[in-house]
Amino acid sequence: MKKIIFITGTRADYGKIKSIILKLQSTTKFKVFLYITGMHNLKMYGSTYHEIIKDKIKNIKRLNNQKPFDPMDKIFSKTTLQFSTYIKNIKPDMIFVHGDRVEALACAIVGLLNNIKIGHIEGGELSGTVDEMIRHSISKISNFHFVTNKIAKKRLLQMGEKNSSIFIIGSPDVDIILKKNLPDISKARKRYGVKFLNYSIGILHPVTTDLKNLKKNSTIFVNSIIKSKKNYILLFPNNDSGHSIILNAYNKLKSNPKIKIFNSIRFEYFLTFLKNADFIIGNSSSGIVEAPYYGTPCFNLGNRQENRASLESVINSPFLEKNILKIIKKYELKRFHKISHFGSGNSDKKFINILFKEKTIWDEINQKYFKEI
C-alpha cells in the first residue's frame, strides 16, 4: 500500500483536492494522509479545519505554523521544521502539493531533501507577484506535474521539465464548479445571513511585490464599492504580507448595510454565491478560474493576476476609482459565454487513473535532469 500525503493551507486549495482525497482513501492501494496547516488553523479566518473534519477525511494532522500577522518567511521556516518531523513518522511514498502558497513550497523542499517523490497540482500557471515565483519554484522541485491545460504544460516544458512527467487533468475545482448538487442560493443565503437578493462579490488580496501602494489601492477599492451603491459579499484577504492593511481599510465598511464581510465561506457555498452574483471584483484568482464557468463578469484590478488568462469575461482595470466605477456601470448586468479554459471536469478520475496506471510514477528514480528544448 502506497502512502501519500496531501498538503492543505487554505479553503481554496482544499476545495481543489477534496474529491481526489475522498476517492483515494476509499481504495485499497493507497493510504492517504492530509496535513492541515496555514490559514485553516487561524480563528480570524474562520478555523476552517472544522469543515475538513466534517468531510470525514481520514488520517489528518493539524499543525499551527503561524500566528496572525506573521511574516511569510517565518511561516516558511515554521512549516519546514514541523513538516520535517511529521514525515519522519509517516515515511510517505509521495507528497502532493497544490498551487503557489508558501506552505506548499516549504513541504516540497522537505520532500526533496528527504528523497521523496513530489507531485505538483496546477503548476505552469501565471499567478503574478511572489506567488508566481513560488509556483515555478515548486514545479522545479517536483517530480510530476498535474496541470490544467496545454498552455500550462508548454510552460513547464520551457522550464526544462520532461514531457512524460506532465499530465493534463484540468483544474480539480472544476469538478466542484460543474457539480449539479451545489447548495441552492436560498440555502446559501440562509446559512450566511445574506438578506439582499442582488449582490456582487469583492475579494482583494495583498500584492506582496508592491506593498508601498497597498494602502492607497485598498482605499480606492473600498471607496469604489461604496460609491457603486451596490450590495456586496466581501471576503477577507489571504494571509500574505500586507493583509492587515486591507483589513484596516475594511473597517470603513463594517456598519454599511449593503455589505456583508466574511472571513471565510465554504467552497461549495462560495461557488453558489459566485454563480448568482452580478460580478466579482478585486484581484482574486476566483475571478479568472471559477467565474468564467458561470459567465459571471470579473473586474480584475491591478497586476496580481497579470497574464493569468485572456478571457472575454475578465475586464482589467488599474486602481483608478473613476475607471472602476465606469466598468461596473457598463458590465454589472452582463453575462458572458461560459468557458472551459481550465478543464471540463472529471479531474479527480483522471488523477486517480494516472496513479493507478502510470508505472513511471512509482518506478522512476527521484533524480531530475533538465530537459533541453
Question: pLDDT category, 209, cuts 50, 70, 90?
Answer: confident
pTM score, whole prediction? 0.90
What 3-state class would DSSP assign to 70?
A: coil
The span from the CA of 135 to the CA of 105, in Å, is: 8
Question: Are residues 349 and 237 both part of a single domain?
Answer: no
Domain-located, residue 310 = yes
C-alpha pair distances (Å), 292 with each of 97, 174, 251, 313, 371: 25, 11, 30, 6, 34
The span from the CA of 227 to the CA of 225, in Å, is: 6
- Per the prediction, the chain carries an average pLDDT of 93
The span from the CA of 351 to the CA of 332, in Å, is: 37
For residues 174-196, average pLDDT: 93
For residues 312-331, average pLDDT: 95
Domains identified in the chain, total number? 2
The region of weakest confidence among 199-213, 265-279, 295-309 is 295-309
Question: Are residues 141 and 13 both part of a single domain?
Answer: yes
The span from the CA of 321 to the CA of 329, in Å, is: 12
For residues 259-274, average pLDDT: 95
Domain-located, residue 10 = yes
* β-pair partners for 166: 145
- The pLDDT value recorded for residue 180 is 86
Domain-located, residue 370 = no
Question: Are residues 210 and 305 both part of a single domain?
Answer: yes
pLDDT (tens digit, 9 = 90+) per residue, 113-160? 999 999 999 999 987 788 899 999 999 999 999 999 999 999 999 999
Question: Are residues 231 and 289 both part of a single domain?
Answer: yes
- The pLDDT value recorded for residue 175 is 87
Domain-located, residue 30 = yes
- The pLDDT value recorded for residue 173 is 85
Q: In sequence order, what are the residues at sequence separation of 6 or more whose Cβ sits closer than 8 angstroms to the Cβ of residue 159?
A: 136, 139, 140
Question: Are residues 86 and 29 both part of a single domain?
Answer: yes
Q: Which domain holds residue 115?
A: 2-177+344-363
Domain-located, residue 121 = yes
Question: Are residues 55 and 81 both part of a single domain?
Answer: yes
Question: Are residues 108 and 59 both part of a single domain?
Answer: yes
Residue 340: all three cell numbers together = 472551459
Inter-residue contact 176 to 255 (CB < 8 Å): no
Other Cβ atoms less than 10 A from the Cβ of 352: the count is 18
- The pLDDT value recorded for residue 338 is 84
Which CATH number does the domain housing residue 325 bear? 3.40.50.2000
pLDDT(309) > 80: no
- The pLDDT value recorded for residue 179 is 86
Question: Are residues 248 and 193 both part of a single domain?
Answer: yes
The span from the CA of 65 to the CA of 237, in Å, is: 18
Question: Are residues 302 and 318 both part of a single domain?
Answer: yes
Domain-located, residue 240 = yes
